[in-house]
């Protein structure tokens, strides 16, 4: 009986080790690969609210190495909606940047090729871009609050639900704005058609009056 | 002694299960880009049997009249180049398919209209992990399974929300354009009316002056 327990424990430890290794060997594949032409800039953007944490990681994917095994180098720039430069890097093959948004709007990340690249060669940049809830560092939260296991998973889910709720509220305000615009458009169309009709009638009356005066002057009436 | 052994196995089962959940760092990737003629993206799918959800919305087209109803084409190719799906001339679409082979999947957009278009593209891979049947402990495995399902459902909701946001953006742009166009139309119409009536009066006056001129002489 004691031997059976011991064997079970060893099997369990082995399993834990195996899964532990698997969990770390398999990278979190959340990145998207952009195909870069040999010249020109590739930009991606996202609409982000204020006070949102943005984490991004990018590297050049060595798809088709050329003869000298040179990996092409790229430059990156991130701009805020009002044009401020948040990050700039030249001649790198990988990099990361992180910032917390202070303005709400369209954040733009642009990449372009530096240096000499064979004409017509195509390579990819892998961009891992996380905002808000996916950028949260759960390990440090778990260590700080000393929670783990099921509780951590449930707290993650609660944070995800909060993010969804905030998103929904944002969508509600957008819908309210759009409704307002639609109603002003409706009112405007009504008033402007009446105005057009009024202008038409006024101009016709003016014509009549002017021509009558003209004919009376020329003694035709 | 035996119960202690069992609780050990239970704890390790929980740890195993949680490590398997924790290694699924998922979410969706939503990006916006401006397309000129053609743009291609790749996304790596790691597990077979996962469901891949993709959606795109054309936010605006930079046409001079700010009205673009032509959509874009999307072609999805698998890791070995086989064509999985093809969509033609749509301004917005959502699709999903079950991944048969793991590897990089290519999404290529083609723009048929001569103007630049802004497209919002979202990709989400839904993975449901199966827990190791060796570590069987009746207390934890169903709980972890349910938590994984819940997580998956929440990521799906986030994916749908992103698509909804992109659609509202498109509609907001259309609405504002419509409002502006109503005002412009009314002004141009009034100006045209006034111009035409002035032209009428001028032509009539000229006609009668000519007639008067010839008859009076």
Question: In whole angstroms, what is the distance from residue B167 CA to residue B176 CA?
Answer: 14
The CA-atom distances, in angstroms, between A21 and each of A12, A18, A94, B107 are 14, 5, 25, 32
Residue B22 pLDDT grade (very low, low, confident, very high; cuts 50, 70, 90): very low
What is the pLDDT averaged over residues A168-176? 93
Least confidently predicted of A21-30, A95-104, B51-60, B151-160: A21-30
Chain A residues lying within 8 Å of B26, measured CB to CB? 28, 30
Are the C-beta atoms of residues B113 and B136 closer than 8 Å to each other? no
Interface of A with B in 36-95 (CB under 8 A): 42-47
Are the C-beta atoms of residues B52 and B96 closer than 8 Å to each other? yes
Question: In whole angstroms, what is the distance from residue B94 CA to residue A128 CA?
Answer: 22
* Pair of tokens at residue B124: 């989400």
Over chain B, what is the mean pLDDT? Answer: 81
Selection from A118-122, A148-152, B111-115, B165-169 with the highest mean pLDDT? B165-169
What is the pLDDT averaged over residues B54-82? 83
Cβ A28–B23 below 8 Å, yes or no?
yes
Signed CA dihedral, B117, B91, B181, A44: sign only: negative
Chain A residues lying within 8 Å of B161, measured CB to CB? 164, 167-168, 171
Chain A residues lying within 8 Å of B46, measured CB to CB? 26, 29
- Cα dihedral B178, B183, B186, B191 in deg (nearest 10): -130
Query: Quick check: A205 pLDDT over 90?
Result: yes
Chain B residues lying within 8 Å of A16, measured CB to CB? 12, 15-16, 19
What is the pLDDT averaged over residues B104-114? 90
Residue B17 pLDDT grade (very low, low, confident, very high; cuts 50, 70, 90): very low
Cβ B46–A29 below 8 Å, yes or no?
yes
The confidence score (pLDDT) of residue A17 equals: 42
Radius of gyration of chain B (CA): 31
Considering only CA atoms, which of B43, B41, B55, B42 is closest in space to residue B90? B55
> How confident is the model over B141-183, as pLDDT tens digits?
788 888 888 989 999 999 999 999 999 999 998 888 888 888 9
* Pair of tokens at residue B48: 């077979």
The confidence score (pLDDT) of residue B136 equals: 53
Are the C-beta atoms of residues A15 and B25 closer than 8 Å to each other? no
Selection from A8-22, A28-42, A158-172, B9-23 with the highest mean pLDDT? A158-172
Query: Quick check: B198 pLDDT over 90?
Result: yes
- State the smallest CA–CA distance between residue A91 and chain B in angstroms: 22
Residue of B nearest to A156 (CA): B151
| Pure H helices in A118-149 | 138-145
The percentage of chain B sitting over the pLDDT mark of 90, rounded to a whole number, equals: 32
Interface of B with A in 9-28 (CB under 8 A): 9, 12-16, 18-23, 25-27
> How confident is the model over B119-137, as pLDDT tens digits?
999 999 888 765 555 555 5
The confidence score (pLDDT) of residue A52 equals: 87
Cβ A43–B205 below 8 Å, yes or no?
no
> How confident is the model over A34-73, as pLDDT tens digits?
888 777 788 888 888 888 889 999 888 876 655 666 677 8
The confidence score (pLDDT) of residue A23 equals: 34
* Pair of tokens at residue A193: 């058609």
Question: In whole angstroms, what is the distance from residue B56 CA to residue B120 CA?
Answer: 5
What is the pLDDT averaged over residues A131-157? 84
ipTM of the shown complex: 0.75
Are the C-beta atoms of residues B159 and B125 closer than 8 Å to each other? no
Question: A20, A41, A136, A150: best mutation site toward chain B, by most B Cβ within 10 Å?
Answer: A150
The percentage of chain B sitting over the pLDDT mark of 70, rounded to a whole number, equals: 78
Over chain A, what is the mean pLDDT? Answer: 81
Signed CA dihedral, A187, A189, A193, A196: sign only: positive
Of the partner residues A42, A153, A210, the one whose CB lies closest to the CB of residue B18:
A153
Question: In whole angstroms, what is the distance from residue B15 CA to residue A13 CA?
Answer: 10
The confidence score (pLDDT) of residue A50 equals: 86
The confidence score (pLDDT) of residue B23 equals: 40
The confidence score (pLDDT) of residue B3 equals: 53
DSSP labels, A32-89: EEEEEPSSSEEEEEEEE-TT-EEEEEEEEE-SS--TT-PPPPEEEEEE-TTS-EEEEE
The confidence score (pLDDT) of residue A68 equals: 63
What is the pLDDT averaged over residues B64-68? 65
Greatest extent of chain A over all pairs of C-alpha atoms, in Å: 131
Task: Assess A162–B contact: CB distance below 8 Å, yes or no.
Answer: no
Task: Assess B32–A contact: CB distance below 8 Å, yes or no.
Answer: yes
Task: Compute φ and ψ for B119, nearest 5 degrees.
Answer: -120, 135
The confidence score (pLDDT) of residue B29 equals: 83
> How confident is the model over A122-131, as pLDDT tens digits?
788 888 888 8
Cβ B32–A193 below 8 Å, yes or no?
no
Query: Quick check: B217 pLDDT over 60?
Result: no
Are the C-beta atoms of residues B74 and B108 closer than 8 Å to each other? yes
Domains by residue range for chain A, with CATH: 26-147 (2.60.120.680)
Query: Quick check: B12 pLDDT over 70?
Result: no
């Amino acid at each position: 009986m004691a031997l059976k327990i011991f064997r079970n424990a060893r099997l369990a430890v082995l399993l834990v080790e195996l899964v532990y290794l698997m969990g770390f060997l398999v990278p979190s594949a959340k990145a998207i690969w952009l195909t870069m032409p040999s010249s020109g800039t590739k930009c991606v953007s996202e609409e982000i609210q204020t006070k949102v944490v943005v984490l991004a990681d990018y590297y050049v994917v060595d798809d088709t190495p050329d003869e000298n095994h040179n990996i092409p180098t790229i430059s990156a720039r991130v701009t805020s909606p009002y044009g401020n430069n948040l990050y700039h890097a030249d001649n790198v093959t990988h990099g990361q940047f992180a910032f917390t948004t202070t303005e709400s709007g369209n954040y733009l990340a642009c990449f372009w090729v530096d240096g000499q690249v064979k004409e017509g060669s195509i390579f990819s940049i892998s961009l891992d871009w996380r905002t808000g809830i996916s950028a949260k560092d759960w390990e440090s939260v778990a260590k700080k609050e000393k929670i783990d296991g099921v509780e951590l998973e449930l707290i993650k889910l609660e944070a995800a639900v909060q993010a969804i709720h905030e998103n929904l509220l944002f969508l509600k305000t957008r819908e309210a704005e759009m409704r307002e615009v639609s109603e002003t458009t409706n009112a405007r169309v009504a008033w402007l058609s009446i105005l057009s009709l009024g202008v038409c009638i006024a101009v016709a009356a003016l014509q009549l009056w002017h021509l009558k005066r003209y004919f009376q002057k020329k003694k035709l009436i | 002694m035996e119960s202690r052994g069992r609780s050990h196995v239970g704890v390790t089962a929980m740890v195993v299960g949680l490590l398997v959940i924790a290694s699924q760092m998922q979410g969706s990737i939503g990006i916006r880009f401006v397309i000129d003629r053609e743009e291609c993206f790749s996304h790596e799918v790691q597990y077979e049997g996962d469901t891949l959800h993709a959606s795109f919305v054309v936010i605006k087209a930079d046409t001079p009249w700010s009205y673009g109803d032509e959509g874009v084409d999307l072609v999805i190719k698998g890791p070995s180049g086989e064509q999985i799906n093809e969509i033609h001339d749509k301004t917005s679409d959502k699709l999903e398919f079950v991944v048969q082979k793991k590897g990089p999947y290519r999404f290529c957009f083609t723009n048929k209209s001569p103007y630049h278009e802004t497209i919002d593209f979202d990709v989400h891979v839904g993975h449901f992990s199966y827990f190791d049947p060796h570590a069987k402990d009746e207390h934890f495995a169903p709980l972890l399974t349910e938590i994984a399902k819940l997580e998956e459902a929440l990521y799906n909701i986030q994916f749908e929300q992103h698509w909804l946001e992109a659609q509202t953006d498109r509609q907001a742009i259309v609405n504002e354009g419509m409002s502006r166009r109503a005002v412009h139309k009314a002004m141009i119409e009034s100006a045209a009316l006034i111009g035409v009536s002035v032209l009428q009066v001028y032509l009539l006056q000229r006609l009668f002056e000519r007639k008067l001129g010839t008859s009076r002489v």
